Amino acid sequence: MPSLRTARSLSLAAMLATATALTIPTTSLAAPEGGYADLVEQVSPSVVFIEVTGAAPAEMELPPGFDNEEFRRRFGDRFPGMPFPDMDPEPMRGLGTGFVISEDGLLVTNNHVIDGASEISVTFEDGRTFTAEVVGRDRLTDVALLQIDSDETFAALKFGDSEAMRRGDDVMAIGNPFGLGGTVTTGIVSALARDINSGPYDNFIQTDAAINRGNSGGPLFNDDGEVIGMNTAIFSRSGGSNGIGFAVPSNMIERVVTDLADDGTISRGWLGVQIGPMSEEVANVLGYDTPVGAVVGDVTPNSPAERAGFANGDIILEVEGQELEDPQALQRAIADIQPGTDVDVTIFRKGQQMTLDVTLGELPTSDT
């Protein structure tokens, strides 16, 4: 008999693969004449507002001879976050957003929303509040999967195809900015496949929909009411929205949460090479308009790459026929393949193109 987590994973995979088990209709509401009210009404019951409580910060170690009373007398409460030995430190609290993806109460949010949490509370728009537990989380993609502690049935959202999105497509976000739950904003897809140097698998959707602190973990919808991204980061010098927000694409979220639902961990393929970008000079010599692929700088001893015959200086161009634009594309392609899989990798070496067959290993858990 499959384990509870395995059964849940299979159930989740089936729901992600079919629309019949999901509750959000897909009637197109692109540029609706009367506004987005109908769309908001349809999807809002599946969006939750997350409050987390973490352990109190460790007591600050004060220097020898430090005079607590003198510090207080001079500065009063100008440093309210600074704990003193005779004060009870306040527990850390945080806010975020999440969204339900299965009728039995699985929900998705950002890992950074629940990181360090000892208690997680989720509240629906109708006021119902539940506790939730972490099923699994992935630091490298900033995705976390939670389970609502309830036997109730919940309205679930449907994932759309993030790879079908184009610059200029309409999008809508619902979130909990600054604790103002149920806030709706709209905009367009500003750019795709953004790398903001937050992790090895950056592939963000950029949007100009207003995203602020507290929107983290909230859904980004297309005009069919499908989740095509999870709002995760903003570019801001002030801490407020500058019209540049970033969302994890739905196709990546689906892969991660399906894996997390199985046993709470992520299994990623591992090649075992240190890589860098192709230079402009090499691209010109090889006849490319712009640099492509990834250049091998070092091969890890006893790695799948070493066993397959990779060498320093190889230029990796394709994985299983998929052309690679840059080193990040290689990292994502390998990570998406299950360990133990045999893959064909096309390389360029000493003036010749060749294909190496490699059996991928598993990325060490310390790197996930």
Query: Could you give the 3-state DSSP secondary structure of residue 342?
Result: strand
178 pLDDT band (50/70/90 cuts)? confident
Check whether 58 has a pLDDT greater than 50.
no
Mean pLDDT of the chain: 82
Alpha carbon 342 to its chain's center: 27
Lowest-pLDDT range, 116-130, 140-154, 177-191, 232-246? Answer: 232-246
Q: Is 208 a catalytic residue?
A: no
Check whether 273 has a pLDDT greater than 70.
yes
pLDDT at residue 18, rounded to an integer: 34
CA distances from 215 to 55, 181, 277 (A): 23, 9, 34
Mention every residue, 6+ apart, whose C-beta is less than 8 A from residue 239.
213
Provide Rg for the chain, Cα atoms.
24
pLDDT at residue 67, rounded to an integer: 56
Q: Which two tokens stand for residue 14?
A: 């089936």
Check whether 130 has a pLDDT greater than 90.
yes
Tens-place pLDDT, residues 288-322: 999 999 999 999 999 999 999 999 999 999 999 99
Alpha carbon 217 to its chain's center: 8
Check whether 188 has a pLDDT greater than 60.
yes
**252 or 195: whose pLDDT is higher?**
252
73 pLDDT band (50/70/90 cuts)? low
Q: How much is the average pLDDT of 102-110?
A: 96
pLDDT at residue 364, rounded to an integer: 81
C-alpha to C-alpha distance for 231 and 247, rounded to whole angstroms: 4
Tens-place pLDDT, residues 208-222: 998 888 889 999 999
C-alpha to C-alpha distance for 162 and 169, rounded to whole angstroms: 11
Beta-strand ranges (E) seen in the chain are: 47-54, 93-100, 106-110, 117-123, 129-138, 143-148, 170-175, 183-194, 204-207, 219-221, 227-234, 245-249, 269-270, 273-276, 294-299, 315-319, 322-323, 342-349, 352-359, 361-362
Catalytic member of 216, 241, 250, 314: 216
184 pLDDT band (50/70/90 cuts)? very high
Q: Is 238 a catalytic residue?
A: no
- Give the start-to-end residue ranges of the domains of the chain: 1-57+91-266, 269-367
**68 or 364: whose pLDDT is higher?**
364
Q: Is 241 a catalytic residue?
A: no
Catalytic member of 112, 236, 263, 326: 112
Tens-place pLDDT, residues 77-86: 544 545 555 5
Q: What's 1-57+91-266's CATH class? A: mainly beta
Q: How much is the average pLDDT of 107-124?
A: 94
Lowest-pLDDT range, 89-93, 101-105, 119-123, 247-251? Answer: 89-93
Lowest-pLDDT range, 9-13, 301-305, 345-349? Answer: 9-13
Q: How much is the average pLDDT of 264-273?
A: 92
Q: How much is the average pLDDT of 174-188?
A: 87
Q: How much is the average pLDDT of 113-124?
A: 93
- Percent above pLDDT 90 for the chain: 59
CA distances from 27 to 24, 31, 38, 158, 180 (A): 9, 12, 11, 13, 29
Mention every residue, 6+ apart, whose C-beta is less than 8 A from residue 235.
196, 242, 244, 245, 246
pLDDT at residue 148, rounded to an integer: 97
Q: How much is the average pLDDT of 78-102?
A: 67
179 pLDDT band (50/70/90 cuts)? confident
For 308-319, letters b (16+ CB in 10 Å) and e give bebeeebbbbbb
Catalytic member of 142, 202, 262, 314: 142
Half-sphere exposure of 242 toward its Cβ, with a 13 Å CA cutoff? 9
CATH of domain 269-367: 2.30.42.10
Check whether 21 has a pLDDT greater than 80.
no
- Percent above pLDDT 70 for the chain: 78
pLDDT at residue 34, rounded to an integer: 63
